[in-house]
Amino acid sequence: MKQITVEQVRRLHARLIDRFGGARGLRDPGALEASLARPFAEFGGYEGFPSVPEKAAALLHGIVTAHAFVDGNERVGLAATLVWLELNGHGFALDAEQRYQLTMRVADGSLGMSALTDLLSDVID
């Protein structure tokens, strides 16, 4: 399974800031690296997030909640997740407003990992 890289996410963040506004800058490089590694973590040969929806949930939740960037963590979290899904041949069946609401619920803590994974299982093809 293909992974999205730190450099890809940094470029994506820069494009999003240019388009929608906000402050540039990576506040915590380690938090970004950890967020991108999280979906692929293994322990004793077992994957923590074995399915595509679980990996997507871990990626989105990780980037949004780690606050690695000075600004735009929600935007880049969603965008990076969509890019990762596309890189791996998957679509995402939510419209722009639904995507926004989903991401805001992750950001405010009202949508945890289990519920997020369940929701993504229904909308990732």
What does the pLDDT read at residue 1? 94
Does 38 fall in a domain?
A: yes
Q: What is the pLDDT of residues 86-123, one digit of tens each?
A: 999 999 999 999 999 999 999 999 999 999 999 999 99
Does 88 fall in a domain?
A: yes
What does the pLDDT read at residue 32? 99
Q: Provide the domain count of the chain.
A: 1
Half-sphere CA count of 77, side-chain side, radius 13 A: 30
* CB-based burial, 15-35: b 16+ in 10 Å, e otherwise: ebbeeeebeeeeeeeebbeeb
Spatial distance between the Cα atoms of 30 and 24, rounded to a whole number of angstroms: 17
Spatial distance between the Cα atoms of 118 and 84, rounded to a whole number of angstroms: 18
DSSP code, position 45:
T
Does residue 66 contact residue 73 with C-beta atoms inside 8 Å?
yes
Does 92 fall in a domain?
A: yes
What does the pLDDT read at residue 43? 94
Spatial distance between the Cα atoms of 118 and 75, rounded to a whole number of angstroms: 21
Q: What is the pLDDT of residues 43-78, one digit of tens each?
A: 999 999 999 999 999 999 999 999 999 999 999 999
Here the CATH number for the domain that contains residue 56 is: 1.20.120.1870
* Domain limits for position 44: 6-123
Q: What is the pLDDT of residues 16-44, one digit of tens each?
A: 999 999 999 999 999 999 999 999 999 99
**What phi and psi values does residue 112 have, to the nearest 5 degrees?**
-80, 180
Does residue 36 contact residue 59 with C-beta atoms inside 8 Å?
yes
**Strand duo 42-43 + 46-47: pairing:** antiparallel
Does 47 fall in a domain?
A: yes
Does 71 fall in a domain?
A: yes
Does 1 fall in a domain?
A: no
What does the pLDDT read at residue 112? 95
Does 21 fall in a domain?
A: yes
Does 42 fall in a domain?
A: yes
